[in-house]
Chain A
């Protein structure tokens, strides 16, 4: 969706390196969901953010929603091959029970 832009579209990192994926909205975000998808499979929920400035972590993945609630970042520390996949952000933009999704970021981790 053009309402929700993800960057970069793809990246390749060396194992052990840190990386950041961004999700930017043209509107206020009332909730932001991060998902991970292995190629050819369904989406796995990672975490959800609702409050401006909120930050959550799961293992080596940290996500933050900025104070203005229009951008979220997903940061992976010391990347591993198991982190490879497609990362998608989904946003509650007050369209009822629908989420708007970004186009996704393809992550490859080189050993």
Chain B
């Protein structure tokens, strides 16, 4: 079974703090993704990575950065947390699909981040 783990289920941080969210997958997947999920907005892609040290901006990268130093690990960094970054953060990983398209994504349990 594919397993995607996230470092924390719940996190409370203060405005202006630097926040690290860690994601680890154990299936040697090339692709890893960070999403945030907000009521009524569904999943929005923040950043993704298709290889070690490679990263691509998603739909809402502002205020975030990422790091992928090892294939199995993908970190999301909030440089200076703000209250509008209070959200559920979901990590996912996948292989490449057919003909280079997206494959099935496997999700972690999520981190509910509250910024006060």
Interface of A toward B, CB cutoff 8 Å: 1, 6, 9, 30-31, 33, 35, 40-45, 48, 50, 88, 90, 92, 94, 96-99, 101-104
Q: Pick the contact of A41: B58, B103, B110 (CB < 8 A).
A: B110
Residues of chain A with a CB closer than 8 A to B58's CB = 98
In angstroms, Cα B102 to Cα A64, docked, is 19
Dominant SS among interface residues on chain B: strand
**Is B43 an interface residue, CB under 8 A from the partner?**
yes
Q: Can you list 27 pairs linking A and B with CB atoms under 8 Å apart?
A: A6-B42, A30-B101, A31-B101, A33-B104, A40-B110, A41-B109, A42-B108, A42-B110, A43-B90, A44-B107, A45-B105, A48-B104, A92-B101, A94-B101, A96-B102, A97-B31, A97-B50, A97-B94, A97-B96, A97-B97, A97-B102, A98-B48, A98-B58, A98-B102, A99-B102, A103-B40, A104-B42
Residues of chain A with a CB closer than 8 A to B21's CB = none
In chain B, positions 79-112 with a C-beta closer than 8 Å to chain A are 88, 90, 92, 94, 96-98, 100-110, 112
A88 close to B43 (CB less than 8 A):
yes
Q: Given A42-B90, A97-B94, A98-B48, verify A90-B105 contact (CB < 8 Å).
A: yes
A10 to B: closest C-beta gap in Å? 10
Residues of chain A with a CB closer than 8 A to B108's CB = 42
